[in-house]
Structure 1
Amino acid sequence: MYLHLGQDTVVKLSDVVAIFDLENASIAKSTKGYLAQAQKKGRVVNVSTEMPKSFVVCENKERGITVYISQISSATLKKRTNFVKEISI
């Protein structure tokens, strides 16, 4: 199965490690550092032509880790994964 990240970019669902809301996650120093380091290593791919809303961390054997910046909200991307589970208390 595949996940559409925006524009003409799709990734294998099995490669998705995490989906983050860009606004909330980028507040933390550790996240800023991770994104800066990924950018420095050439591992960031911007698939957004509009204001970015999320970033998706993917990993596969051939390319290693890639961070995709997307204009699609993290909530929408998570729904597309079909991994929304009910939480019972």
Structure 2
Amino acid sequence: MYIHIGEDLNIRAKDIISILDKESANQSSLVEEYLKRQSERVINLTKNPYKSIIITCEKVYLSPIASGTLKKRSNQMNIHEF
């Protein structure tokens, strides 16, 4: 199944390692360091400030969609799979 993460981009749900909200990510020095080290893999999907960070094996996405909304979408997809 695929999840829409913003700007007409859908990614496979099974490829998602983590979805972080901006507030908790900004408070974590580990996440900040990770983003700096992965800067060449970061894809910003928004012109405005991002609301969430989606980490996959290959890329890191800065999404305009709130982490709570992404979670709801993934839960709805899990229900539809059964």
TM-score (norm. length: structure 1): 0.79
* 46, 55, 58: which one aligns with 2:56: 58
Within 2, Cα distance between the matches of 1:75 and 1:50? 18
| 1:13-32 pair list within 5 angstroms | 13-32=13-32
Alpha-carbon displacement from aligned partner over 1:44-87 (angstroms, at most 9, x marks no partner): 0111122211000012xxxxx2100001000000111017xxxx
Using the aligned pairs only, state the percent identity: 37
Unaligned 5+ segments in structure 1 are: 60-64, 84-89
Number of matched pairs: 76
CA RMSD in angstroms, aligned pairs only: 1.2
Secondary structure of residue in 2 paired with 1:82: helix
**Which residue does 1:62 correspond to in 2?**
none
Between the aligned partners of 1:34 and 1:74, the Cα distance in structure 2 is 19
Residue of structure 2 in register with 1:87 after alignment: none
Question: Could you tell me the TM-score, scaled by structure 2's length?
Answer: 0.86
